[in-house]
Amino acid sequence: MNSPIGIFDSGIGGLTVARAIHKQLPYLPIIYFGDTAHLPYGDKSSESIQNYAQRISSFLLKKRCRIIVIACNTASAVAYEKVKRHIGMKAIVFNVIDPVVDYVACNFKRGRVGVIGTKGTIQSRIYVRKIAKVNSAIRVSSLATPLLAPMIEEGYFNNYISRTIIHSYLSKKTLSGTRALILGCTHYPLIKKEVEKFYGKGVDIIDSADIVAAHIKDKIGNLYSFSKRKQPERHFFVSDYTEAFEKSAAIFFGKNIKLKKVNLWR
């Protein structure tokens, strides 16, 4: 296979996954789609998210992507099965939840694990159900943190505003007594250091980006044989131009990025 990998999210959050994949598979071409016209996905209906995800997947197929990564917890929770059926045998589809569930099951045999995420992800109870299925001795405490993704999209992290909001959420009784905290949104690795500072060394902070990237490398790494002398192309598409997205993409992948706006809903 010499086709690019397609990665999509509602905005900049999935860039954390794209960057982690690039580190694991540095010679793999990447096509990224940020559905900035509809962000955040966390407060959208399941039907809307499924529609967005299927259209974006069709777009990535047209760009010759044979690996598609749903780099969004909310879309992974409510649209993964729909996308797989929509794609059929045309591409391999990955989500960002199952690798994290496997990681938790392997590394935490019992006790309480916390999850923070968007309303859509938490209301789906996807982590609660999946972790209970593989290890019923692990108790999962979930907390919706709806202000975090918009806050990050607007560039508010590593400052007084972000610290105040993060402290307010993490102080909730729902998360007391947790041994580990799953960052159940691909935006949240951008505030990982602030979360770690809140907890100190007493709680393991589980960043999905690196876990997902390692899982994908393990599954597809042997399918690719790119020249290590050739710089892989990386293309970034958005459904609506935002300055925050362009800045974030440049931070993650350098200033020479190719950003293009496309409307999939005409």
Fold of 98-208: Rossmann fold (3.40.50)
Of 49, 67, 72, 182, catalytic: 72
Write down the pLDDT at residue 224: 64
Full pLDDT tens readout for the chain, 266 residues: 578 999 999 999 999 999 999 999 988 899 999 999 998 898 899 999 999 999 999 999 999 999 999 999 999 999 999 999 999 999 999 999 999 999 999 999 889 999 999 999 999 999 999 999 999 999 999 999 999 999 998 888 888 999 999 999 999 999 999 999 999 999 999 999 999 999 998 899 999 999 999 999 999 877 666 555 567 888 999 999 888 788 888 888 876 677 899 999 87
How far CA 44 is from CA of 74, 146, 262, in Å, comes to 9, 12, 21
**What pTM does this model have?**
0.93
Residue 21: phi, psi to the nearest 5?
A: -65, -40
* Cα–Cα dist 13/15, whole Å: 5
Q: Is 185 a catalytic residue?
A: yes
Q: How far is CA 242 from the centre of its chain?
A: 19
- Nearest Cα neighbor of 126 from 79, 174, 176, 186 is 79
Q: Is 106 a catalytic residue?
A: no
Q: Which CATH class is domain 5-95+211-261?
A: alpha beta
Give residue-wise pLDDT tens across range 217-255: 999 877 666 555 567 888 999 999 888 788 888 888 876
Of 152, 185, 206, 249, catalytic: 185
Name the 3-class secondary structure at 136: coil
- Nearest Cα neighbor of 157 from 42, 33, 256, 244 is 244
* Cα–Cα dist 99/107, whole Å: 12
Write down the pLDDT at residue 127: 97
Is 5-95+211-261's fold the same as 98-208's? yes
What are 100's two structure tokens?
């994290």
Classify the phi-psi angles of 185: left when phi > 0, otherwise alpha if psi is within -120 to 50, otherwise beta: beta
One-letter identity of residue 162: S
Angle at 192 between CA 186 and CA 196, to 5 degrees: 145
Q: Domain boundaries in the chain? A: 5-95+211-261, 98-208
